Structure 1
Amino acid sequence: MFISNAFAQAAAPAGTPESGLMQFLPIIAMFVVLYFVMIRPQMKRQKEHKAMVEALAKGDEIATSGGLIGKVTKVGDSVLSVELAAGVEVQLQRHAVVQVLPKGTVK
């Protein structure tokens, strides 16, 4: 009585399936670019670092993430003994090694 009848409006015409894909195309393109610019190079660096750390051997000269430079004296499963100077030997975790230096760098 006091409330008037409500009539449904005609539904808006549905877009074509191509228009829905076109809306998501920029987002998909951003993820593809993100993969090739950020994710893939990072995975490559991780693989190279893992191979370098696994290849460490006694006598290698290394630089650590803390800035220490020394010669590997003992190699364990997860720990290295590194001689920093004559009579000064420290133990480091393998993943702390950042770079293998050329022979003759450490005196």
Structure 2
Amino acid sequence: MSQQLMGILPMLLVFVAFYFFLIRPQQKRQKERTQMLGNLKKGDKVVTIGGLHGTIVELGEEKVTLKVSDNTRLVFERSAINSVANAEEAGAAKSAE
């Protein structure tokens, strides 16, 4: 009986290590990203996955229209938004104080 347990124990430890080092952090990042995409609003300064910086001028269920210059507006899928620049600037300002 203890020989069987000793044979299974390393596999169990590997699974636990994979869960805590790979699976759990990925789930946490995905949850934060989903929350960020859900909290988008007009006027937010965002960065797309491709590195394009712009300001949200129109927001739909699946599409986001960004103003990238005075005359240029581009339409993206909501999932193409990588980060909100407003949140990063606010966090940097708080840490500086």
Note whether the superposition's TM-score is higher than 0.5.
Answer: yes
Query: Structure 1 residue 71 and structure 2 residue 39: aligned?
Result: no
Q: Distance in 1 between matches of 2:40 and 2:17?
A: 35
Structure 1 gap ranges (5+)? 1-16
Give deviations 1:21-55, integer Å, cap 9, x for gaps: 11110011000000000000000000000000000
CA RMSD of aligned residues (A): 1.3
Q: Which residue of 2 aligns with 1:82?
A: 66
Counterparts of 1:27-106 in structure 2, within 5 Å, are 27-102=11-86
Calculate the TM-score normalised by the size of structure 1.
0.79
Structure 2 gap ranges (5+)? 90-97
Please tell me whether Structure 1 or Structure 2 has the larger radius of gyration of its CA atoms: 1
Q: Which amino acid aligns with 1:54?
A: G
Structure with bigger helix share is: 2
Q: Which residue of 2 aligns with 1:4?
A: none
Q: Which residue of 1 aligns with 2:95?
A: none
Q: Distance in 1 between matches of 2:37 and 2:25?
A: 18
Q: Distance in 2 between matches of 1:29 and 1:68?
A: 43
Give the length in aligned residue pairs: 88
